[in-house]
Chains A and B, each alone.
Chain A
Amino acid sequence: MTDGAGSDAPALEAWEVFRQEKDGDPMRHGGSVMAPDAELATHYAREMFGRRQESVRLWVVRRADIVDLEDPDLLQPPLDRSFKKPGGYVMREKLAAAREAAGQEKPKARSR
């Protein structure tokens, strides 16, 4: 790779690319590209994450514009938080009792 960055060349920066595989799917992080501005970032995102028709939509976001939160005091506090996890409660018996009281059958697994 040649060094094309002259003194007046705009600086490259990172852009994060999110892609949607088909209509209705969530946007998922695909990766990132380096580009000097939004226009070229869009071109490169298209080439990296769309040239094989693997995406129906891309979001291209300047990495510097992303609000980054990784403070452990906020995200990984030291005290036990297991009581906040739904897995902390065994619901099966309570649910079965509630259904019986209401006279309802257990619903069948939903099919798509």
Chain B
Amino acid sequence: MSAAAPPVTGLDELLLTMADDEFVIGFSDSEWTGIAPMLEEDVAMSSLSQDELGHAAALYGLLGGLTGQDPDAIAYDRRPEDYRHARLLDHGRGDWAMTIARRYLYETADAVRLEALAATSWKPLADLVGKLRREERYHLMHIGTWLERLASNDGEARDRLVAALDTLGPHAGTVFTPLGAEGSLVEAGVLARPMADLERDWRARLADTFEPLGLPLAPATMDPWLGRTAHGDAFRWLWGEFTSVRRSDPPATW
């Protein structure tokens, strides 16, 4: 299969950013398997992480259909600097509060992004987004429960949550890093509105939840032009983990 130009300029970048987001958070959160705070939560977090990897696989599959690449090769055979996930997800899983904070910021941003794609003009993506939104609804419920729980606990849990939100804050908005060919995506009806618009909606919704809980709102994004590049050491380490099996025997079929 030869590489073909995507039906809309920028569609490949949109799919890659979404897939990398889901892949990185899914892989990173799966590190809790076996060590989550309690058995039931261990199963829940592992299951949610698997869902995200499933979403990533579906998105890499759509991208592979456009470019003629093998979805596994897209997922595993790039150098760390070629991944395009949001820098929010470069932060390691940290403690439980960090994981909850990171996931809450990501899930709420992803929900806004998926809404803006619900009526996308590219049919294969529209079909997939419909399915993703049904699963993400549960993810939002789960992570919202945890955020409120940690925030409502006057003690170490709340202190750790606030500290995590402070650490993540400068990168919280990076899910909405403008795409290179965003204009053509909006014009073609693939994406309903520009990322900057979506970010505004997301920040307003975050304020609705965070203000009553007395949680710190995310400041303006630091170095917004680097929102999906310039990945740091924590990601390089994670990359080493998730590519280790594949690199151990590149020609093998798993």
Contact = CB atoms under 8 A, between A and B. Distances in A.
Contacts of B243: none
Rank and list the top 4 A-B pairs by shortest CB-CB distance, nearest first: A4-B37, A44-B40, A47-B44, A51-B47
Interface stretch (B138-146, B190-198, B204-212): B138-146
A48 B155 contact: no
B5 interface: no
A28 interface: no
Contact of A34 (B35, B40, B153): B40
Contacts of A43: 44, 141-142, 145
B38 A34 contact: yes
A60 interface: no
B41 interface: yes
A47 B35 CA distance: 17
Nearest to B45: A47
Interface string A29-44: 0000111000110011
A67 B187 CA distance: 62
Interface residues of B, number: 21
Q: Which secondary structure dominates where chain A touches chain B?
A: mixed
B103 to A, nearest CB: 14
Interface string A4-19: 1010110010000000
Interface residues on A, range: 10 to 19
14 contacts: A1-B35, A1-B37, A2-B37, A4-B96, A8-B153, A8-B155, A33-B40, A34-B38, A40-B40, A44-B43, A44-B44, A47-B40, A47-B44, A48-B40
A62 interface: no
Nearest to B34: A1
Contact of B145 (A9, A33, A39, A47): A39
Interface string B9-45: 0000000000000000000000000011111111110
A58 B138 CA distance: 15
B72 interface: no
Contacts of B138: 46
B70 interface: no
Contacts of A47: 40, 43-44, 47
Interface in A50-95: 51
B241 interface: no
B156 interface: yes
